[in-house]
Structure 1
Amino acid sequence: MISSEEHERGWKAEIARRLEQGDGLEFTLGQFAQAVGTAAGVGALREFLNQAVETGALRKIEAFRCPMPECKKVLSPAGAPYSACPYCLTDYLEEGVEVVAETFYQLVGKTSRDIRWMIVVHGMNSRAKWQEEFSWQIANRLRYSAPVLIYKYGWATIDVLVCWLHRKLASQLGERMRIAIAQAKASQRPVRPDIIAHSFGTHLLSMVLTDPDFEDLKFGRVITAGSIIRPDFDWDSLIENGRVEAVLNHVGGKDIPVLIAQFAIPRTGPGGRVGYTANKAINVCTPTFKHSDFFLTENLRTQIADDGLWHNFLTHPLEHFTPEGRLVPASWKRAPLVVRSATRGLGYALFAVLAPFSWLRRWLDP
């Protein structure tokens, strides 16, 4: 036989689940009892909910319900007293019935959010086939009508070695984002897209976010994977100033490229391995992931399926978002300047030698 303590633990777990998912925040005693497998008439459950009301965790709402079996719609107390149903139009006086008084409980928390639309930015030297897979999965597994803008800046190889090309690519990305946001506004969609960026795409995103020319652009929730953004990047200010709603940094425990990025690519760092040190950033580590494992078909499907890491981050209230593998990074210092200078000097020399061949390849294979 289940003890009262075990019952109460189950009730608390159900409350926690609803708050975490931002779903089912309003319910009747009977609905909650059915969800936890407890008979609606059990006085202990009623007492449990009433105590939650006293502590402020729940609100009690006295409402009405249409008594007609084919309707049973909830009626707002603001319209009382009801002589007819505003939904099924039944005249209660003619039918000789009265509205049913009913008590609702409402959890004090935020509701879940929908994915309205999204921009994804790939990494270097990639045609990013995973983006087509992601777009397909968004449309099918998540069941959202969410347009996905797949931003492709083309192949990037030795281009990543020099800053002026970074600025050019970041400017192109920012302008495309501005056009997309204007189009979303014209289509009466929210003007804040969610963002997913990988590898070199994360660096371009960070440049857009810190460029005064694009300070008008605002974004929803941001996911970075295989990030080469510096761990000390100031996400806190961006979140506090409303430029970004939240950021999830998915860290790969076996991601080697992000460890060496700062030695070859100017103004980058191992954010995708160390994590972001900003207080408001959410870092989650999957120990087995390498640089592009996030986007292997089976991993991608897991992450955006119901209760997947990315799905929960994009849809659940962040107040109760407590993912497994949460990483709290230690302080980070850049590699010594003499080491970075030497490796980047070699990079510039390599760029000078290979640039003509790279541009020829771009012309032949855009």
Structure 2
Amino acid sequence: MNDVELVRLVESTWLTARSDQRYAALKALRVAVSSDLIDLFDALFDAKLSNIEDDPNAIVVILVHGIQTDGAWHRLVQDAFSDVPNINVIEAGYDCVTAAQLVSPFRGTPIEKVAREMREARRREPRARMMVIAHSFGSYILSRILKDASDLEFERIILCGSIITRNYKWDLFARNVGPAGILNHVGTGDFYPVLATFASVGYGASGRLGFKTGKVVDRFFQLGHSGFFTPRHIRTHWLPFITDGRIERSDWDVNKPATGLAILILSHPWIGRLIGVLILCSLVFFGYGLWLLI
């Protein structure tokens, strides 16, 4: 490909893509551009973006995935929202975070990366309505950004598989979010938020038990950690909330059984961690005993 062909390709991509999908289309195209033409592509890209009229009715939805994944569910959200005008779905990804990093105190890099993506989205569309869908470790990233980055504000937030601590100060860190503006989808078959609670610090079982606070609307489902990622669930429960603020009911809210005592104990912010420490010590002692026998 030469420079003339690149100019034509950028122009055709821009003209054929929907207005709210042009940025994503050009960003995807950039991956295929050779290194010797990157500077020209970036100049053409910037020229196109500078001519965009900022639409106050536009909605920017930022997706933040969890650990040990590349956020494949993002494609499902983009597809479900593709027919809705004025919605731009943006991925705020980061390099793979392992379970070992999850339980360690070294979590700053993905938080900084996602915050940069959010600021860039705001810079591109300063008058757009900013919203977030965050899953698992992505929910923790969002909680840290809300706490530390006062320049980033969101109109609506969807959480699923959340590992945010249940006593998170939503009234302080998300005071700019309106009533019923935070939706927490809880999976009663999800053990990972419980595991994160007793295996490390800084996390909570909000994705298993809910927040139970007036600032957040909890909706319960008979699902596991990633069971929310189906076209039906996204279209039925996420799309109405993002576009209209409408929260659909879940039959499982009233039909779900009582939570078992073991889950409640393991989800406790200090009793659960004490049990986690005892389990870890027992495993180390058992392993050391086997090593001596060998």
TM over 0.5: yes
SS of the residue corresponding to residue 164 of structure 2 reads: coil
Given candidates 155, 165, 171, the residue that maps to 1:220 is 155
SS of the residue corresponding to residue 223 of structure 1 reads: strand
Given candidates 101, 114, 139, the residue that maps to 1:202 is 139
How far apart, in 2, do the equivalents of 1:327 and 1:168 lie? 37
Q: Using the TM superposition, give the Cα deviation of residue 323 of structure 1 relative to its aligned residue in structure 2, in angstroms.
A: 2.0
Change (3 A) 1:312 1:133: closer
| Deviation by residue 1:256-277 (Cα, 9 ceiling, x = unmatched) | 1111111223200110010012
Partner of 1:283: 218
SS of the residue corresponding to residue 215 of structure 1 reads: coil
1:255-274 alignment to 2 at 5 Å?
255-274=190-209
Q: Using the TM superposition, give the Cα deviation of residue 207 of structure 1 relative to its aligned residue in structure 2, in angstroms.
A: 0.8
SS of the residue corresponding to residue 189 of structure 2 reads: coil
Partner of 2:91: 150
* Aligned sequence identity (%): 26
How far apart, in 1, do the equivalents of 2:87 and 2:183 lie? 20
1:125 paired to 2:40: no
SS of the residue corresponding to residue 225 of structure 2 reads: coil
Change (3 A) 1:262 1:138: same
Aligned length: 216
Q: Which amino acid aligns with 1:316?
A: D
How far apart, in 2, do the equivalents of 1:118 and 1:338 lie? 39
How far apart, in 2, do the equivalents of 1:152 and 1:243 lie? 23
SS of the residue corresponding to residue 229 of structure 1 reads: coil
Q: Which amino acid aligns with 1:167?
A: G
Q: Using the TM superposition, give the Cα deviation of residue 343 of structure 1 relative to its aligned residue in structure 2, in angstroms.
A: 6.2
Change (3 A) 1:182 1:216: same
Runs of 4+ in 1 over 3 A off after TM superposition: 325-333, 340-347
| Deviation by residue 1:13-72 (Cα, 9 ceiling, x = unmatched) | xxxxxxxxxxxxxxxxxxxxxxxxxxxxxxxxxxxxxxxxxxxxxxxxxxxxxxxxxxxx
**TM-score normalised by length of structure 2:** 0.65
Partner of 1:302: 232
How far apart, in 2, do the equivalents of 1:171 and 1:243 lie? 22
Q: Using the TM superposition, give the Cα deviation of residue 216 of structure 1 relative to its aligned residue in structure 2, in angstroms.
A: 1.2
Q: Which amino acid aligns with 2:232?
A: T
Partner of 1:314: 242
| Deviation by residue 1:84-124 (Cα, 9 ceiling, x = unmatched) | xxxxxxxxxxxxxxxxxxxxxxxxxxxxx977111000010
Partner of 2:112: 171
Partner of 2:103: 161
| Contact 2:162–2:206 (8 Å) recurs in 1 | yes
**Pair member with larger Rg:** 1
How far apart, in 2, do the equivalents of 1:116 and 1:346 lie? 51
How far apart, in 2, do the equivalents of 1:244 and 1:180 lie? 21
CA-atom RMSD in angstroms: 3.0
| Contact 1:115–1:194 (8 Å) recurs in 2 | no
| Contact 2:198–2:269 (8 Å) recurs in 1 | no
| Deviation by residue 1:290-312 (Cα, 9 ceiling, x = unmatched) | 111111xxx3x22333xx12122
Given candidates 245, 267, 274, the residue that maps to 1:338 is 274
Q: Using the TM superposition, give the Cα deviation of residue 238 of structure 1 relative to its aligned residue in structure 2, in angstroms.
A: 3.6
Given candidates 311, 319, 323, the residue that maps to 2:249 is 323
Change (3 A) 1:344 1:123: farther
SS of the residue corresponding to residue 147 of structure 1 reads: strand
**Which ranges of structure 1 fall in alignment gaps of 5 or more residues?**
1-112, 348-366
How far apart, in 2, do the equivalents of 1:205 and 1:251 lie? 17
Q: Using the TM superposition, give the Cα deviation of residue 340 of structure 1 relative to its aligned residue in structure 2, in angstroms.
A: 4.3
**Which ranges of structure 2 fall in alignment gaps of 5 or more residues?**
1-55, 284-294
How far apart, in 1, do the equivalents of 2:185 and 2:212 lie? 14
Change (3 A) 1:270 1:283: same
How far apart, in 2, do the equivalents of 1:202 and 1:325 lie? 24
Change (3 A) 1:317 1:244: closer
Change (3 A) 1:290 1:172: same
1:183 paired to 2:124: yes
Moved more, 119-128 or 255-264: 255-264
Partner of 2:30: none
Change (3 A) 1:231 1:175: same
How far apart, in 2, do the equivalents of 1:147 and 1:218 lie? 17
How far apart, in 2, do the equivalents of 1:346 and 1:149 lie? 45
The structure whose residues are more often helix, as a share, is 2
Q: Using the TM superposition, give the Cα deviation of residue 278 of structure 1 relative to its aligned residue in structure 2, in angstroms.
A: 1.9
